Structure 1
Amino acid sequence: MTPPAPSPTSPPSPTAVARPARSRQTLVRQAIESLREQIAAGDWPLGSRIPTEPKLAEALGVGRNTVREAVRALVHAGVLECRQGSGTYVVSTDELAGAVARRCATAAWAETVEVRRAFEVEAARLAALRRTDADLRTLDRALAAREAAWDGGDLTEFVEADVALHTAILAAAHNDMLAELYASIGAAMRATVAEAVGPHLHPDQHVDHARLVEAIRDRDPDRAAHEAAAYLTTD
């Protein structure tokens, strides 16, 4: 018996099937992720200007339109900021910080203080339970720097030193998510500190944080939480 003749239109082998070209949206998503990674890695520090559109296109291996869309997406997310005639700058290291910054810009002062209280009271309690000797050394240095800044009378310097101390307390709590969320309200936190003590530093406005640090040193979570709550009032 004669076998049937092979079909003249046999399907191509799997290796002969052409792969579909990457879609435009896929390229944009990949470009966005590449830019995010470079920002997170510190290739472009906070406040720095990112490379021009042609240079980014060449580095990422994509077209300028793709780069333009990726940059636009990160501007919308609050990570980048386009400045007319100057370039595009890094204004945040992640979308969360950008979104929170936009929200905090329209928040009432009392609301921001209440949010700080929610973070800082729990952080103080956790720090008292989890702090290490290295954490204590960092806290002692930060406390000393805060007192020196107050004595120096410079409002900006004091605000930064105060924020540094509270950031050190958050780090001593050893909860990465809590620390990242707290960092996202950094600008709003500076504003509440400046409003509470500014525009000039007066002796009667000084709030001693030594008792808070001592409570953390003594591993007393209730006392640490009490001390943290004492200076975060909206009265």
Structure 2
Amino acid sequence: MSQLTKRSLVEQAVDQLRDRIARGSWSIGQRLPTEPELASDLGISRNTVREAMRVLAFSGLVEIRQGDGSYLRTVSDPLQAVQAMSRCTVEHARETRHILEAEAIGLAAMRRTEHDLQQLREALQHSAAHFHSDIPAYVACDIQFHQLLVDAAHNPALSELYRYFSGVVAAALQHNMSTVPRCQAVFDLHAEIVDALEQRDPQRAKHLSRTLIES
């Protein structure tokens, strides 16, 4: 019963925060009140506020910046788009990755910075530590790596689209890794993609990306 009550409180908090966002209580880019302030204002615990903010962050409404607070990203709730994506077939997801991810990685090969490469190699190290063990941990690391690949294209629209779509990618990856034996050669494609970006070779980067998507 306590779990049901807790879930209900979080849902109520989410609804109240969505309503305030819709009514224009905060402007896009504005830092939201702190957890203690929201807890006091809504009459709920800080833990409930924290969980509600995570829900809003997942749906794309807010951005949580570690050590800095939460900021309003948009007033248009993209949750419906995310839900629609979650209903797409495996084949539709694969087609979308070819169009969105592979092409973005081609751009990244031309636009990447040294900082992008450093972040990608660090993310790849985190992924490698979990590839042969903890599937959920690996999936989280791998999604972060692929988001960084798309971010290296330095196109905010592509980054946002992939951020919403990454939930579909994560679900497919989780299923695949749970049913198919893990292959080191497939994982090694990730490092080859980073090498292609370092060499500023968009055609090779796209080819490797498509090979990885089909693996």
Give the TM-score normalised by the residue count of structure 2.
0.67
Matched, 1:33 2:33: no
Q: How many residues align?
A: 171
How far does residue 205 in structure 1 lie from its aligned partner after superposition? 7.9
Structure in which a larger fraction of residues adopt helix: 2
Counterpart among 143, 147, 157 of residue 177 in structure 1: 157
Percent identity, please: 27
After superposition, the CA RMSD in angstroms is 3.2
Gaps of 5+ in 1: 1-27, 57-85
Gaps of 5+ in 2: 1-18, 43-50, 62-75
Aligned match of 1:101: 82
Q: Distance in 1 between matches of 2:79 and 2:34?
A: 16
Over 3 Å counting, the alpha-carbon distance change for 1:37 and 1:195 in structure 2 is same
Provide the C-alpha distance between the structure 2 equivalents of 1:193 and 1:32, rounded to a whole number of angstroms.
Answer: 38
Change (3 A) 1:230 1:30: closer
Larger radius of gyration: 1
Q: Does the 8 A contact of 2:186 with 2:212 survive in 1?
A: no
1:158 Cα offset (Å) = 0.6
- For the residues of structure 1 that align with 2:211 and 2:34, how far apart are their CA atoms? 39
C-alpha separation in 2, matches of 1:189 and 1:44: 32
Match of 1:147 in 2: 128
| Structure 2 CA distance for partners of 1:114 and 1:43, relative to 1, 3 Å | farther
Paired residues for 1:1-235 under 5 Å: 32-34=23-25, 37=28, 41=31, 43=33, 55=41, 90=56, 91-94=58-61, 95=76, 97-151=78-132, 153-199=133-179, 202-203=182-183, 206-208=186-188, 209-233=190-214
User: What one-letter code is carried by the residue in structure 2 that aligns with 1:194?
Assistant: Q
Q: Is the 8 A contact 2:105 2:153 kept in 1?
A: yes
2:196 touches 2:202 (CA, 8 Å); kept in 1?
yes
Runs of at least 4 residues of structure 1 off by over 6 A?
none
Deviations 1:67-99 (A, max 9, x none): xxxxxxxxxxxxxxxxxxx98953523346312
TM-score by length of 1: 0.62
Q: Contact between 1:155 and 1:199, CA under 8 Å: does it hold in 2?
A: no
CA contact (8 A) 1:113 1:192 kept: no
Distance 1:161 1:203 in 2: 17
1:112-163 CA distance string (max 9 Å, x none): 1211221111111111100111111011111111111113x10100101110
